[in-house]
Amino acid sequence: MESLVNPHVLQITPYKPGKPVEDIQREFNLKKVVKLASNENMLPIPKNVREAISDEMSQVHFYPDSDNYYLRRRLADYNGLALDNVIVGAGSVEIIHMLIRTFLKPGEKVLTSEKTFSLYKSATTEIAGADAFVEAPMTPELCFDLQAIAARIDRHTKIIFITNPNNPTGTFIRAQAIREFIDRVADDKIVVLDNAYQEYVDDPDNYVTGMDEIGRGKNVVVLRTFSKVYGLAGLRVGYAMAKPEIMAILNRVKPPFNVTRIGQRAAMASLENEDYKNQSVRLNRKNKAKLFTRLQGLGLRVIPSQANFLLFFPPVDIQDLNQRLLRQGVIIRPMGGFGIPEAMRVTVGLEEENEFFLATLEKTLKEMSPI
């Protein structure tokens, strides 16, 4: 069978998402399971979004608007841009694939940091092969090292991904450093700012949204998503913003009808509910601070985070710990697939979920031998 397959596909390490609750309930015969593995918003979506979804159900026998006009119009207004600055995708993951497939020519490379979102690597490998992907080291604080990335830029570099805040470390790059980096990058390259966790940043005045750079005509693409603070992970809606010349080319490869009617309608309704977004951010900040302190109280190294998750380092065998937690109904995320095999990532949940996780983790660590 392998002889029939594109050899690039055989180089891919499959992405492993957080295990579904139903799988763990069935496998271990559990009634209570807490999933804190996928950085989802744990608050139920608000009433106006539920009503929009319910209303749109009567139209699902029709194809969606393939141009995503009304959602794009709303997103452009929301971000202070024009309609032709915006494209919509089935989550930002689809747009990552679109960018690489569109702009990466044979012999060119994608550049990013190590220990970041693993889809950059798998998408590049699928489209252009593993040799087209280049990683720079992180700082000792597990933050993107823009100087190290700049040192690896050469004539083959085409697309540079900067994830801010970074997944899975939660670390943050300040505005001046990113702006200086973008200004140094030559015009024959594209800088992608993956701002999936933008809303959670504690210091928005020191954050680069990318809107100024787009306005100045820079080759900058900004990725955003409705899967995190807006609570629509199950509907798969993301979007990108860039100058019109980039958007026009991306529209050549955008699949038709790629975002469902329900997804588009729910996303538009979400943008009308700032209260839900603000409540989600406040609750995350409060619960994250408690979770951070409690994890440190267990003697664990925890990385300060500007997102809705925490990276921590248990002094035990990670795979063994993960299996023990799963058997007790706790789903968090081992970080081997992100290049940090000695760490785990936990989503900031609701207070009851966090307490269940912490009690189970403390009990389990006491039962295990340090390595």
Tokens matching residue 142: 């597990």
Q: How far is CA 204 from the centre of its chain?
A: 18
Q: Which of 266, 285, 95 is nearest to 196 (CA)?
A: 95
* pLDDT tens string 323-368: 999 999 999 999 999 999 999 999 999 999 999 999 999 999 999 8
Determine the average pLDDT of the residues in 84-100.
96
CB 112 within 8 Å of CB 161: yes
Which CATH number, 3.40.50.2000, 3.40.190.10, 1.20.58.220, 3.40.640.10, labels domain 47-270? 3.40.640.10
Residues of the chain within CATH 3.90.1150.10 domain(s) are 2-44+275-367
Say if residue 371's pLDDT is above 90.
Answer: no
- CATH code of 2-44+275-367, in short, is 3.90.1150.10
* pLDDT tens string 3-50: 666 676 666 666 566 677 777 778 777 888 899 999 999 999 999 999
Query: What's the rounded Cα separation, in Å, for the pair 172 and 351?
Result: 25
Q: Where are the alpha helices (DSSP H) in the chain?
A: 7-10, 21-28, 47-56, 69-79, 91-103, 119-128, 146-151, 175-184, 211-215, 244-253, 261-270, 274-297, 318-327, 351-367
Say if residue 237's pLDDT is above 90.
Answer: yes
Determine the average pLDDT of the residues in 252-268.
95
pTM equals 0.93
pLDDT, position 20:
76
111 phi and psi angles, rounded to 5 deg: -125, 135
Residue by residue, what is the 3-state secondary structure of 332-362? CEECHHHCCCCCEEEECCCHHHHHHHHHHHH
Neighbours of 305 (CB within 10 A): 26
CB 293 within 8 Å of CB 354: no
Q: Which of 228, 219, 222 is nearest to 208 (CA)?
A: 222
pLDDT, position 256:
93
Neighbours of 233 (CB within 10 A): 16
Residues of the chain within CATH 3.40.640.10 domain(s) are 47-270
pLDDT, position 15:
59
pLDDT, position 369:
85
CB 76 within 8 Å of CB 243: no
* pLDDT tens string 173-214: 999 999 999 999 999 999 999 999 999 999 999 999 999 999
Query: What is the band of 59 on the pLDDT scale with cuts at 50, 70, 90?
Result: very high
Determine the average pLDDT of the residues in 81-100.
96
Query: What's the rounded Cα separation, in Å, for the pair 358 and 349?
Result: 11
Q: Say which residue, 369 or 332, is predicted with more confidence.
A: 332
CB 301 within 8 Å of CB 169: no
SS3 138: coil
Q: pLDDT averaged over the chain?
A: 94
% of the chain with per-residue pLDDT over 90? 89
% of the chain with per-residue pLDDT over 70? 95
CB 238 within 8 Å of CB 345: no
Query: What's the rounded Cα separation, in Å, for the pair 228 and 341?
Result: 25
pLDDT, position 3:
64
pLDDT, position 175:
96
